[in-house]
Amino acid sequence: MGAYHPECPARMSAIEDQLIAAGVLPFLAGYDAPCVEREALERVHSEEYIQRIVAMAPEEGLIHLDEDTAMNPHSIDAAFRAAGAGVLAVDLVMSGEVENAFCNVRPPGHHAGRDTAGGFCIFNNVAVAAEHALRHHGLKRVAIADFDVHRGNGTEQIFRDRDAVMICSVFRYPDFPYTKFLHDNPRILNVPLETGTSGTEFRAAIERHWLPALKRFKPQMILISAGFDAHREDIGGGLGLVEDDYVWVTERLMQAAERHAKHRVVSMLEGGYALNALGRSAVAHIRMLSGL
């Protein structure tokens, strides 16, 4: 997205490098992300929006979708593949070929609404994956757990009237996207955290709000919007989490998936911009998902 932009290619290699350094990568099954099929994309985005994004893709240089979100000539392919990764991951988990999956993708997705880009996001990757699980695989209930430091306002907007989807979100407030959040929808659990919130308070919020709601909802698959920008080393995030907190929340979500969802978990990378902390946190998350 341009020089010095935090949403940079080094984010993916930071995770891959840490997987290699930790000795984990050889024990994981790797898949190339395919381009998403238009039908899957149109389940969550309007046809007009998709056409507009494709038409805006530059042949050279950068164009801006908003003040934070840019596209270069390769961005449209990356965005199609980021969404396609979630679809493939759902297929692999549903078929039993893998138990869980982590999608190391960019651009992120949870700020993209039905007709809008924003917050570095072009298409809503986790929403595409959730709708694929519901419509293609016939699931009745899917939960999305979002622990990015920013609220997934795009995911919320897409699914606010979708009874088959529960969204559980913790985020720093007030912070981007600087919009009010829902209080009156029992399927959308927004849990705001104050600047400086520690891992202890984060865990207490999950225990108090997320876990009882997931128990009541009984999701048949859990998808994770895995943002690691709430890490204490991610200065822009303003929260105080560490790797052990990501391990803890991943374990709790896996336990919920074991009870209700036949262990089915698909996790998709969202934010995380302090590269060293991102790599360590993502690897801790992946190790818990994979049992390594």
CATH number at residue 239: 3.40.800.20
Distance CA 256, CA 67 (A): 38
Tell me what pLDDT residue 2 has.
Answer: 87
Q: Which residue has the tokens 């596209």?
A: 71
pLDDT (mean) for 218-232: 98
Amino acid at 222: I
Residue 183 has pLDDT above 90, yes or no: no
Evaluate if residue 265 carries a pLDDT over 80: yes
Whether the per-residue pLDDT at 247 is higher than 90: the answer is yes
Is residue 201 assigned to a domain? yes
Please report the pLDDT score of residue 272 as a whole number: 98
Residue of 45, 111, 150, 231 marked catalytic: 111
Q: How confident is the model at residue 179 (pLDDT cuts 50, 70, 90)?
A: confident
Residue 111 among the catalytic residues? yes
Rounded Cα gap, residues 56 and 38, in angstroms: 17
The model's pTM is 0.97
Tokens representing 270?
Answer: 């969202």
Digit-coded pLDDT (tens) for 113-129: 999 999 999 999 999 99
9 located within any domain: no
Let me know if residue 22 belongs to a domain: no
- Alpha-carbon distance 233 to 229, whole Å? 8
Q: Is residue 265 part of a domain?
A: yes
Query: What letter represents residue 189's amino acid?
Result: L
Lowest mean pLDDT segment, chosen from 131-145, 180-194, 260-274: 180-194
Q: Is 283 part of a structural domain of the chain?
A: yes
What's the domain count of the chain?
Answer: 1
Can you tell me the distance from the alpha carbon of 64 to that of 108, in angstroms, rounded to the nearest whole number?
16
Domain membership of residue 11 (yes or no) is: no
Residue 169 in contact with residue 150, Cβ under 8 Å? no
CB 197 within 8 A of CB 172: yes
What residues have CB less than 8 Å from 165, skipping those under 6 apart? 130, 134, 141, 142, 143, 144, 159, 187
In a domain, 10, yes or no: no
Boundaries of domain holding 227: 29-290
* Long-range own/partner contacts, residues 89-95 (CB < 8 A, 24 or more apart): 89/129, 89/266, 89/268, 90/129, 90/132, 90/133, 90/136, 90/137, 90/221, 90/266, 91/132, 91/136, 91/137, 92/31, 93/221, 93/264, 93/265, 93/266, 94/133, 94/137, 94/221, 94/264
Say how far apart CA 172 and CA 137 lie, in whole Å.
34
Asked whether residue 66 is domain-assigned, the answer is yes
Is the per-residue pLDDT at 253 higher than 90? Answer: yes
Task: Using pLDDT thresholds of 50, 70 and 90, give the confidence band for residue 89.
Answer: very high
Residue written as token pair 């303003």: 238
Average pLDDT, the chain: 96
